[in-house]
């Protein structure tokens, strides 16, 4: 009987852990920080994630000028922004899985970011801010309000 209780508790713990949110956070303070608990650098311009079965569920954009929440249910995500001279694109596959963060092809991650720890990449530039945020859901522009001041973008990935 105790073995059955242990097995049930173990399965429940595993299920809760697998359903956990693994957000990707882009914080436009000074310097810009990009955080995620499972980064997997692919090359000099691309960060992937090691979590492949999870799906984007919502994107929150907060800045001094307001906030927006866009919900997702299996649609592809295409988020683009500029931070000083850095152009970033975060995209998923057609089903909202496997987010990939890319820097402009004319530059590199190493040139603009240092790895602060396993979860955080931090811009080597300070004094800039996030500008020009564009969010597409299944190819349709979500018409976000212009961002100003400190901006934080959270992509919830469950």
Asked if 81 and 134 count as a contact pair (C-beta separation under 8 A), the reply is yes
pLDDT at 52: 78
Q: What is this structure's pTM? A: 0.84
Beta bridge partners of 122: 33, 114
Q: Residue 89: phi, psi to the nearest 5?
A: -135, 130
Confidence band of 50 (pLDDT split at 50, 70, 90): confident
Which tens digits make up the pLDDT trace of 6-23? 444 444 343 334 457 889
Give the separation between CA 37 and CA 86, rounded to whole angstroms.
23
Confidence band of 122 (pLDDT split at 50, 70, 90): very high
pLDDT at 17: 41
Give the separation between CA 46 and CA 36, rounded to whole angstroms.
14
**Average pLDDT rounded to a whole number, residues 23-39:** 90
């Amino acid at each position: 009987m105790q073995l059955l209780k242990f097995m049930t508790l173990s399965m429940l713990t595993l299920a809760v852990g697998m359903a956990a949110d693994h957000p990707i956070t882009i914080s436009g303070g000074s310097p810009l920080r990009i955080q995620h608990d499972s980064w997997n650098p692919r090359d000099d311009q691309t960060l992937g994630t090691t979590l492949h079965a999870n799906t984007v569920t919502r994107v929150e954009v907060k800045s001094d000028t307001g906030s927006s929440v866009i919900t997702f249910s299996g649609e592809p995500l295409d988020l683009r922004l500029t931070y000083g001279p850095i152009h970033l694109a975060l995209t998923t596959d057609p089903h909202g899985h496997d987010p990939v963060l890319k820097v402009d092809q004319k530059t590199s991650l190493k040139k603009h970011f240092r790895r602060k720890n396993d979860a955080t990449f931090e811009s080597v530039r300070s004094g800039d801010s996030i500008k020009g945020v564009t969010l597409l859901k299944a190819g349709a522009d979500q018409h976000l309000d212009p961002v100003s001041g400190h901006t934080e973008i959270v992509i919830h990935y469950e």
